[in-house]
């Protein structure tokens, strides 16, 4: 690791509020397998093992937070809440907040396909950083870091913050895959004024990607975006020939 890389990672440390005793752990957390595959002569490892560990640390910590915050919730309710917090979209949003994408080590192909913007890569990198913190400083300091970030998401009265902005994610992925912005068209509006129901199509180009329904136009658009995101991820995961 050269001095320029070390200095860049020190800047990321400041944003994270965590000083690594072993900066190589942070470097490893930001190394995608595409970079390792294209640089076989370098002594580096990808972040997939760290991602595995970070996911476990994150789930344990958030589970404990939910148990304490909602003592009367049943297991099923807690599981749903945890799944809504520990998933790709909120993790990717946190990664964007810290500017993690600019520090990723990517192969040329992944770089060219907009890898630094992909929610999947950003979420994985964030989990890997959690693992690096755990290995560097132990569980308790890592849990404090996680708690500081996730408490606003699961705070009582602010639970809607858990469900992130799917429209933003679809917009980013649509630009990466098709270089087009998605459009939303209301196709039906039913019910009396006090109990409206909206149905909205999400289009990319002239193709209808998904349909959403809700009590407001915004809710219908978010539901359409959530469904569209699942469909676009299938396209994103298809390997190039």
Give me the CATH number covering residue 126.
Answer: 1.10.1520.10
* 10 and 90 part of one domain: yes
- Determine the pLDDT at residue 165: 62
As beta bridge partners, residue 200 has 186, 212
Q: What is the pTM of this model?
A: 0.67
Q: What is the pLDDT of residue 236?
A: 59
Share of residues in the chain with pLDDT > 90 (%) = 54
Instruction: Give the chain's mean pLDDT.
Output: 87
Strands of 183-190's sheet in order across: 183-190, 197-204, 207-214
Mean pLDDT of 76-97: 84
- Return all residues near 229 (Cβ < 8 A) that are at least 6 apart: 89, 166, 169, 170, 173
Please say if the pLDDT value at position 161 is more than 50: no
pLDDT, residue 98, reads 92
Of the pLDDT bands very low, low, confident and very high (cuts 50, 70, 90), residue 114 is: confident
d(CA 50, CA 131) in angstroms, rounded, equals 5
Beta strands 207-214; 183-190: pairing state: unpaired
Dihedral of CA 86/92/97/99: which sign? Answer: positive
* pLDDT tens-digit map of 10-50: 999 999 999 999 999 999 999 999 999 888 778 789 999 99
175/101: higher pLDDT: 101
Q: What band does 191 get if pLDDT is binned at 50, 70 and 90?
A: confident
Same domain for 198 and 123, yes or no, is no
Cα pseudo-dihedral 54, 160, 83, 225, rounded to 10? -100
Look at 169 and 129; give whichever has higher pLDDT: 129
Residues 59 and 121 in one domain: yes
| Same-domain status, 85 and 120 | yes
How would DSSP label each residue in the chain?
Answer: --HHHHHHHHHHHHHHT---SSHHHHHHHTB-HHHHHH-TTS----SHHHHHHHHHHHHHHHHHHHHHH-TT--HHHHHHHHHHHSSHHHHHHHHHHHTGGGG-B--HHHHHTTGGG-HHHHHHHHHHHHHHHHHHH-HHHHHHHHHHHHHHHHSTT-GGGGS--HHHHHHHHHHHHHS---EEEEEEEES-GGG-EEEEEEEETTEEEEEEEESSHHHHHHHHHHHHHHHHHHHHTSPP-
- Are 40 and 124 in the same domain? yes
Domain limits for position 186: 166-236
Residue 241 belongs to some domain of the structure: no
Rounded CA-CA distance 97/91 in Å is 10
- Residue 32 domain-assigned? yes
Q: Is the pLDDT of residue 186 over 70?
A: yes
**Ramachandran bin of 58, using left for φ above 0, alpha for ψ from -120 to 50, beta for the remaining angles:** alpha
Q: Choose one of 113, 141, 162: the last residue of a domain.
A: 162
Active site residues: 55, 127
Does pLDDT of 238 surpass 50? no
Highest mean pLDDT of the ranges 14-18, 76-80, 162-166, 211-215: 14-18
Q: Is 23 found in the same domain as 137?
A: yes
pLDDT at 237 over 80: no
What pLDDT does residue 240 have? 43
**Shared-domain flag, residues 146 and 177:** no
Number of Cα atoms under 13 Å in the Cβ half of residue 222: 11
Can you tell me the mean pLDDT for 121-133?
Answer: 95
Least confident segment among 74-83, 160-169, 209-218? 160-169
Max CA separation in the chain (angstroms): 67
186 or 38, higher pLDDT = 186
What is the average per-residue pLDDT within 123-141?
96
């Amino acid at each position: 690791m050269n001095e320029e890389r070390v200095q860049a990672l020190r800047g990321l440390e400041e944003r994270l509020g965590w000083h690594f005793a072993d900066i190589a752990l942070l470097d490893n957390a930001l190394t995608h397998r595409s970079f390792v595959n294209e640089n076989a002569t370098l002594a580096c490892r990808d972040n997939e093992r760290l991602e595995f560990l970070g996911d476990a640390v994150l789930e344990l910590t958030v589970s404990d937070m939910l148990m304490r915050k909602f003592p009367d919730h049943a297991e099923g309710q807690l599981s749903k809440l945890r799944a809504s917090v520990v998933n790709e979209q909120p993790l990717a949003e946190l990664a964007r907040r810290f500017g993690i994408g600019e520090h990723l080590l990517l192969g040329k192909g992944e770089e060219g396909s907009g890898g630094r913007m992909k929610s999947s890569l950003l979420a994985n990198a964030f989990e890997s950083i959690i693992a690096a913190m755990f290995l560097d400083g132990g569980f308790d300091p890592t849990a404090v870091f996680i708690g500081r970030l996730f408490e606003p998401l699961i705070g009582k009265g602010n639970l809607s913050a858990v469900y992130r902005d799917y429209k933003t994610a679809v917009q980013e992925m649509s630009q990466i895959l098709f270089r087009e912005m998605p459009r939303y068209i209301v196709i039906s509006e039913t019910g009396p004024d006090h109990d409206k129901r909206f149905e909205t199509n999400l289009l990319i180009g002239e193709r209808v990607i998904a349909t959403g329904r809700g009590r407001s136009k915004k809710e219908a658009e978010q539901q359409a975006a959530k469904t569209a995101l699942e469909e676009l991820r299938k396209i994103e995961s298809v390997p190039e020939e």
